[in-house]
Amino acid sequence: MIATIARKISRVVYKRIGLEAIIWLAAFFYLAIHDPYVQAEFTLCPLENLGFHYCPGCGLGRSVSFFIHGDIARSVQTHLLGIPATIILLSRTFSLFNVALEGKVFQSSIQ
């Protein structure tokens, strides 16, 4: 019973907001609760996992996390594109939620 209700609610949320907004919101939530000052041993970077020591995107998530936590100087030191990426992605997320609040149904190519 509860699982059925939860499934119906998740379908409505997905159709109204869309998967993209949910993913960005979850990513920002993770970066907000994550402590950027602690060096993690695990990385999601595919190039780093393949053994390459340089990736142009490495440090971007950590830079965004520093910016969210208010450490602008360290954010810029970690990755120059961290602050612009945060602003662009927050703008995109808010626009997706704004579309949902206006009552438009999100049209996804995923069926």
pLDDT in tens, 76-96: 999 999 999 999 999 988 888
Q: What is the arithmetic mean of pLDDT over 51-65?
A: 86
CA distances from 7 to 1, 2, 10 (A): 10, 9, 5
**Total-model pTM:** 0.71
CA distances from 97 to 28, 33, 68, 76, 87 (A): 14, 22, 20, 28, 15
What pLDDT is stored for residue 38 in this prediction? 86
Q: What angle do CA 20, 100, 12 make, to 5 degrees?
A: 80
Between 21 and 111, residue with greater pLDDT: 21
Average pLDDT across the chain, whole number = 81
